[in-house]
Amino acid sequence: MSKVAVSILDADILNLREEIEKVKDADLIHLDIMDGHFVKNLSFGANVCKRINEEFDFYIESHLMVYEPEKFWNDFFLAGSKRIIFHIEATKNPLKLIKTLKKNKTSVGLSLNPETDVKKILKYIKDIDLVLVMSVNPGRGGQRFIDDVLKKVSYLDELRNKYGYRFLLEIDGGINYYTGRKAVKRGIDILVSGSYIFKKGDAKRNLQLLKSIKR
């Protein structure tokens, strides 16, 4: 069975509690944090993470689509985020940030944009807990899935099997039942989905469909 991280980016923000109640069977809540610079859009801050953590019993991960994530991670960590994901292009010293997060016993993820060469993260692969493969260009929900990124997924899955690495593989962007099946077959452990869950009919049903996918 697949694990599903529900992105609340496309949830009805005026009824966020009710929207989250619909997906209480999710394995994780995925927060897309945008600064208007690294990506064009703005989203929400650590206060949203804090309130979700206070009201619900979810594992929360924060995807920092921001420049200089070393300036922001602690706010989300203190607000209840158990995993911090950042982009290799967003910081001058990825290893220093990884070590800082590990020192604070935080799960660490690195994100790969569709155009980012997977080789850029290989030197850090043994030190991280998760690789997030972006299957759309980051910054907004509802985009179409980019099939070409599945080559990265296959490569990373083969790499961890060959060398015994323990990082998880997560994919985000354009995930529905059809694209989710393709991704899981290539080795994905966690599907991030938002617009499909909240905007394509019954949220509970859509979540269960994604969770039912088997490798």
Q: How far apart are CA 36 and CA 177, in angstroms?
A: 30
DSSP H/E element including 32: strand 28-34
Does residue 172 have an active-site annotation? yes
Q: How far apart are CA 112 and CA 30, in angstroms?
A: 16
Sign, CA dihedral 200-28-209-55, equals negative
Given the residues 10, 32, 35, 129, the one annotated as active site? 32
Residue 16, both tokens: 């966020």
Q: How many CB atoms lie within 10 A of CB 119?
A: 8
Given the residues 10, 75, 172, 202, the one annotated as active site? 172
Q: Helices in the chain by DSSP H: which ranges? A: 16-22, 46-55, 73-78, 94-103, 150-163, 177-186, 195-199, 203-211
CB 204 within 8 A of CB 196: no
CA nearest 136: which of 65, 60, 198, 199? Answer: 65
**SS3 state of residue 159:** helix
Cite the active site residues.
Answer: 32, 172
